Amino acid sequence: MKALVYEGPGRIDLDEIDDPEPGSGEVLVSVDAAGVCGTDRHIVAGELGVAPGTVPGHEIAGTILAVGEAVDRWSPGDRVASFGQVACGACSPCRAGRPNRCRRPEILGMARQGGFAERVALPTSCLIALPDSITDAIGAIASDAIATPFHALTAIGRLRPGETVVIIGAGGLGLHAVQLARLSGAARVVAVDPSAEARDLALGVGADAVLDPTAEVEPDRALRRVARGASLVVECVGRKETVELGLAALAPGGRIVVVGVGADRPELPPLAMFTGSELSVRGSFGSTPAEIETVLALIAGGRLDVSLSVQREVPLSEAPPIFTEPFGPARTVLVPDAKDPR
């Protein structure tokens, strides 16, 4: 089959590789759409230590072609989305229903072959039924670009109705965070991004105000002025300066949820202010299969507008050059060369 294969830093090529075979408890999925996440770009740049020969791609939607032994719930022809990692099922987080915190995960597209291919073998623990009303492209990105901010806002951030929420980084995660914050009852939502396109999109999906931090001499003061005291900040960038900017925006009792992944080491405010104001910092990683199901239900029920979520669909054979191109705030989705449009 055809697949995009990571060949080393800066190189991803379309190759012919062996078809995967579903093992016991697994199914073979024809990939109908695969979202391109920022993580995939870091993989291709050689920044995450992924082994050459790996097929990236963890945002997957497709149709089951065949089932392996010990599979009884799923059948050929079923449309599915995929949870982005294979959890061990035995560690304490897995037993507690938090497979996103698995101690021994195999992340699709990193430790296990991913979805930038014509077909992929997936264990049934990764499968989520995809409603007929949801397109392949949206089904693919729902598992990460939409479910990740949903998890950050609700499970980790504990957003309460009437709160002020600041979203830092209005890209693939942040734009959905704006919508989900509004849907979850936020009274005021502020989006922060240096991109004019991202800020305009944020206003279009429900932000009350936006801020370009690069246009301010003192962005922390500017954000405090615009936000008017944030109860909750969701940081979707993963940089020292953006985490510290979010901390500076918090009202007493506020909390910041860090979704962005990076190697930076942000500093806390002076401890007298940090403890005296009872500020909280929490990390958030991915989501759970149950949360992906909830997000899909919100989309299928018309509660969540995803009309601006996908920037473009690119055939698999034309995909290698896109990893060196600038990405817009909405998702790029890879599709089969002979895709039947839904």
324 assigned to active site: no
Catalytic residue among 39, 54, 124, 332: 39
Catalytic residue among 42, 63, 154, 294: 42
58 assigned to active site: no
Report the candidate in 147, 130, 127, 126 with the shortest Cα–Cα distance to residue 139.
130
Active site (catalytic) residues: 39, 42
